[in-house]
Copies of this chain bind each other. A is one copy, B any other.
Amino acid sequence: MKEQVHDAARRARIAASSLAVATRAQKDAALHAIADALLHGTSAIVAANDLDVAEARETGTGANVIDRLRLDPGRVASFAEGVRDIAALPDPVGEVVRGSTLPNGLRMQQIRVPMGVIGMIYEGRPNVTADAAAICLKAGSSVLLRGSSSAARSNAAIIECMRAALVTAGLPADAIQQIPAGDRSSATHLMQARGLVDLVIPRGGAGLIRAVVEESTVPVIETGVGNCHVYVDAEADLEMALDIVVNSKTQRTSVCNAAESLLVHKAVADVFLPRVIAVLQAADVTIHGDEAFCAVDADIVPVTDDDDATEYLSLDISARVVDSIDEAVAHIRRFSSGHTEAIVTTSLAASSQFTTGVDSAAVMVNASTRFTDGAEFGFGAEIGISTQKLHARGPMGLTEMTTTTYVVVGDGHVR
């Protein structure tokens, strides 16, 4: 298996050297060819998906998971459309990040160039397959796709369409390759193919991400876990706070930018607690609260330290009253996963203290945590949301899928 993965990576590297010099027009034509091929291949993709779904049913997979796995012509059309959207975005390759003429006359430019070979290790939804491949292609990199075995047939059908389209567009098929998913070792070999693979991005649950981070020798960008907080300050507009708390918690619960924890300044607790409890309970939210919350309503579940650290991804929220903004910031620094925190306040000083004090990828002031998103930020496409500090932090668009090189031009300069 190791040789098979390394061989795929070597072929991907050769393909990447063609992609690196491809023009935007060539890459966009290939993306449109891929979208066309996906539409034309819809029946084959759906048939392959039927087999995956049937097997998942036989092995007793939960209905939720099967729903995420299932494809129909509408879903295929939707991710084909997503590929066209990526074609419409500006090409990040070639952007001059900075440049100047040095005192000795050397002309220096830092230029955005493709990453090379990117490994994706992911679970669940087969739409990630088309999406990730299209983003990598637009950014000039080859991609090795290691999805889950439960979606292996669906992914194979999607990848077959995309590879055929690359060839019709005059680009190498090996720019998009499937890594076999039957054997767990294929993922390990992929994340340890240092020198052959430039970057690995895991997408999936916390367990998958932890395993990749611990085992990988290839650089990794961690995505996703979001234990997001909303802090209602002493000087908050409480009507606004109610809206933001409810929206952050309930607008969509299964996503990483949903709020999981509420902190309320003691100065507004008397007024705010009964109201926020009422609106959250009206939205079917289970509140895991501290003594102050429990004192207001008998249906509040007592909060534990585990709750403070939990990304529920459900209609649950942990809730505490804090004595000060310092205590709120300290609590968030301790328990947050570094994704998104929100403050509701009318105080400039509090806003400033909060935004510099917490240590997360995004900080919202008087806005819902749900806005941390590549599409909302105007990036067009998003490969995930990075919660680490290296290379990319927050939503990762096409820019974050590139690296840079320094090109320095002289007239025979020596030192």
Contact = CB atoms under 8 A, between A and B. Distances in A.
Contact of A367 (B220, B221, B412): B412
A366 interface: yes
B100 A378 contact: yes
Given A213-B194, A389-B199, A403-B390, A414 B243 contact: yes
Provide the main secondary structure of the chain A interface: mixed
A306 interface: no
A272 interface: no
Given A363-B407, A393-B404, A371 B219 contact: no
B389 A21 contact: no
A248 B219 CA distance: 30
B21 A413 contact: no
Contacts of A391: 390-391
A364 B410 contact: yes
A388 B219 contact: yes
A75 interface: no
Given A363-B406, A376-B102, A240 B412 contact: yes
14 contacts: A113-B356, A219-B390, A221-B390, A240-B412, A243-B414, A248-B414, A351-B409, A355-B405, A362-B408, A363-B408, A366-B413, A367-B413, A394-B405, A394-B406
Given A199-B390, A351-B409, A368-B413, 19 more contacts: A20-B357, A21-B357, A103-B378, A106-B367, A198-B390, A199-B389, A219-B389, A355-B407, A361-B406, A362-B408, A364-B408, A364-B410, A365-B407, A367-B409, A368-B415, A372-B408, A389-B403, A391-B391, A393-B405
